[in-house]
Amino acid sequence: METSTATAAKTDTPQAANQVAERPKPPLVGGGKVSAIVPSDIDSIWRLATMVIAAKMNPKSLDSVEKCTIAIVHGLEVGLTPMAALQSIAVVNGMPSIWGDGLIALVRASGLLEDIQETVEDDQEGPTIAVCKVKRKDSPSWVVQSFTRPQAMKAGLWRKQGPWVQYPHRMMQMRARAFALRDAFPDVLRGLHSAEEVSDMVDITATGSATTAPPEPRRSDFVFKGGAQSAQTSDADEQPEHDPETGVIGEQGKKSWTIPDSVVGQQAKLTAIHDLLGVAEVKADVDDIEAEHKEFLGKLGQQRKDETMKAFRDRKAELPETLEPSAK
């Protein structure tokens, strides 16, 4: 008994405890297969997004846990792993989109792409046309799309500050690629637009994009005494006649609420419409402005559309049905 007690006392010393705790460590073995961590539920996706934000490894457009979570979910739906989704998905004004390289990556991964051919032609002033030809394995014909310099100029993109000035060849190539891939592989892309295209279509807010919106229009571009001015033309004979006292222009005494073609971009056009509302004199003017720009208003995102229509209603509530004789 005394011997057993003495032995137990010895093993209770710190040195003995350390010796007992030490275990042989397994060797480092190479050759393991690398695979992505793909979460299987929303809580796991949220935890992953939280870690990305905490590590400050998120792209600028994905500046919150919520946005990272949505980007991961959207990426999983089209076949992207979580980290690939965070690098490929961009949120532009709340709309998930994907960078041009991500588009082609998804299409190649689908196994449906047989061939893709991209060319860009140019002259002394820069690229003139970008062409993208793609062929699906399950289709006998090629899908061909192009994007030209005149198209870029008409859309207000040519010489636009940012990537269009720095890398015009690349930007035209990305636009032609997006058109062709969306036409040929709608089942793979599931409505995703290219981030380059969306960045040019809508106003950019808090996305870190290098592109800038067109210059804001001035009220003097649209307004003259007592009414609204129609789009300017180069030929003076084509200018509609108007009465500078009443502001009535055009035929049959009808006011014109058009916007000059030089105003390009969603934000610029919205600003112009708000300027027109500012010079409306009666309720009917507000209705005419809405009717004139019905097609444009119908293409707005839901939030912007709601805000704009509220501005229409508020302005209409401020105006009289008709002008008082003293005001004419």
- pLDDT tens, position by position, 10-39: 455 555 555 555 677 777 667 667 677 788
Distance CA 182, CA 192 (A): 8
- Are 169 and 230 contained in the same domain? no
- Are 255 and 167 contained in the same domain? no
Distance CA 70, CA 206 (A): 17
Q: Quote the domain boundaries for residue 54.
A: 42-92
pLDDT of residue 40: 84
Q: Indicate whether 200 belongs to any domain.
A: no
- Express each pLDDT in 203-235 by its tens digit: 444 333 333 334 444 444 444 333 434 333 334
Q: What percent of the chain clears pLDDT 70, i.e. is strictly above it? A: 71
- Are 112 and 172 contained in the same domain? yes
Q: Indicate whether 266 belongs to any domain.
A: yes
- Express each pLDDT in 64-84 by its tens digit: 898 889 888 888 888 888 888
Q: Indicate whether 18 belongs to any domain.
A: no
Q: Indicate whether 23 belongs to any domain.
A: no
Q: Indicate whether 24 belongs to any domain.
A: no
Q: Indicate whether 234 belongs to any domain.
A: yes
| Count of domains observed in the chain | 3
Whole-number average pLDDT of the chain: 75
CA 190 distance to own-chain centroid = 16
Range with lowest mean pLDDT among 5-14, 40-49, 89-98, 314-323: 5-14
- Are 79 and 114 contained in the same domain? no
Distance CA 197, CA 195 (A): 5
- Express each pLDDT in 253-310 by its tens digit: 457 788 877 776 777 788 888 888 888 888 888 898 988 888 888 888 888 888 888 8
Concatenate the DSSP letters of all residues of 244-263 into one string. TTTTEESGGG-------TT-
Element (DSSP H or E) covering residue 177: helix 168-184
Q: Indicate whether 25 belongs to any domain.
A: no
Phi, psi (rounded to 5 degrees) for 60: -60, -35
The stretch 300-322 carries a mean pLDDT of 85
